[in-house]
Amino acid sequence: MQISIDTSDIAKEFFLSKEEASDMIDFAVKGITAEFAKRWEIQAQRELHSVRDIYKSSIYVGDSGKYTGFVQLRGTLPNMIESGAKPFDMKIGMLASPKAKTGKNGKYITIPFRWGTSGSSENFRVMPKVVEKIARKNLPSLVSEKGLVQRGIGVKKVQLPKELQVPKNPIHKAPIHTGIVHQIKTYEKSTGGKFISFRRISDNSDPMSWIHKGFVARNLAEKALESMDLGMEVDKQTDIYLKQLGF
């Protein structure tokens, strides 16, 4: 995006030197770049949910020299969300992770899934109330070397309603609520906890399992740009610069 800024009238009105006029242009460009990034983040905050934090943290503001600035979206997943993506096999990327292990039957990796509770503002899939009730029971705890407390919910041993006893997707080998644990970590002044279940991916997984349905392009950068009035932004940034000079 190119922006034309005519400083001749302002320079004459405020008796700016060539250096000051040049610095004002650079200041305005950098300010407009930052404003665009801010509006981009606002669009992400409004429209995204579970991937919101990942997406927002991938928006990077850079400086490529005088009179220039850029905002870049970094990372494969954020760009798939922004520009869209066709259905793809998640197993390929996950088994290529450095965290994947190799056993006698090939590669495998364990994937954690975060669960939200009813009435919370967490951007995770919410547990059914019957599962949450089980999750909140005071079950035996296992303490790891890192001081992490895991309370097993034992969904396997509990008689769940019929709709939760059988996997809804024939590819799933067990109901998705099986094996949820409550992880509790004690910090210096507080205690935090989260509900997590784990699923195994391996070379022996069903070929049709772990197929992501793809992404519809969100075009959040384009929406952020459309929300800006560049003329007003130029005036705003030049006013800020002149105030810094004491005008």
**Domain limits of the chain?**
8-85+215-244, 89-212
pTM: 0.73
Mean pLDDT value of segment 191-201: 80
The confidence score (pLDDT) of residue 115 equals 86
Computed over every residue of the chain, the mean pLDDT equals: 84
Phi and psi at 35, nearest 5°, equal -65, -40
pLDDT at 154 over 80: no
In the structure, what pLDDT confidence band is assigned to residue 24 with cuts at 50, 70 and 90? very high
pLDDT at 172 over 70: yes
pLDDT at 156 over 60: no
Phi and psi at 235, nearest 5°, equal -60, -40
- Interacting residues of 227 by C-beta distance below 8 A, sequence separation 6+: 39, 43
Q: Cα(133)–Cα(176) distance, rounded to whole angstroms?
A: 16
Q: What percentage of the chain carries pLDDT values higher than 70?
A: 81
Interval 99-115: pLDDT, tens? 999 998 899 999 998 88
In degrees, to the nearest 5, what angle opens at C-alpha 220 toward C-alphas 219 and 225? 105
The confidence score (pLDDT) of residue 130 equals 80
> Bridge-partner residues for 181, per DSSP?
152, 196
Residues 120, 151 contacting (CB under 8 angstroms): no
Highest mean pLDDT among 17-21, 126-130, 140-144: 17-21
In the structure, what pLDDT confidence band is assigned to residue 174 with cuts at 50, 70 and 90? confident
